[in-house]
């Protein structure tokens, strides 16, 4: 029975902190743009492939294989 008197306030403190964190994040604009981060990884992947191709071409010019 004593553990219930400890666990209920602890659960309320955790719940309150999660609600406060959510309200802080939503007021700072963390959830405004949900599409761009998913598309940004596709753009970065294309840029990384072109950089790798450029580096491999430079190595072949120097005689390094």
Give 16-36 pLDDT, tens digit per residue. 999 999 999 999 988 888 788
d(CA 17, CA 15): 5
Average pLDDT over residues 53-62: 59
**Together in a domain, 51 and 25:** no
Higher-confidence position of 43 and 57: 43
Structural domain of residue 41, as residue ranges? 33-65
**Together in a domain, 46 and 27:** no
**Together in a domain, 13 and 37:** no
**Together in a domain, 27 and 38:** no
**Together in a domain, 22 and 3:** yes
- Output the CA torsion 44→49→52→56 (10° steps): -170
**pLDDT for residue 40:** 77
**Together in a domain, 45 and 23:** no
**Together in a domain, 27 and 41:** no
Q: Among 1-5, 16-20, 40-44, whose mean pLDDT is lowest?
A: 40-44
pLDDT above 70: residue 52: no
pTM for this structure? 0.51
């Amino acid at each position: 029975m004593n553990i219930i008197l400890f666990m209920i306030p602890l659960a309320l403190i955790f719940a309150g902190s999660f609600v406060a964190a959510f309200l802080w994040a939503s007021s700072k604009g963390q959830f405004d743009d949900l599409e761009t981060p998913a598309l940004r990884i596709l753009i970065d992947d294309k840029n990384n492939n072109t950089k790798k191709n450029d580096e491999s071409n430079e190595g072949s010019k120097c005689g390094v294989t």
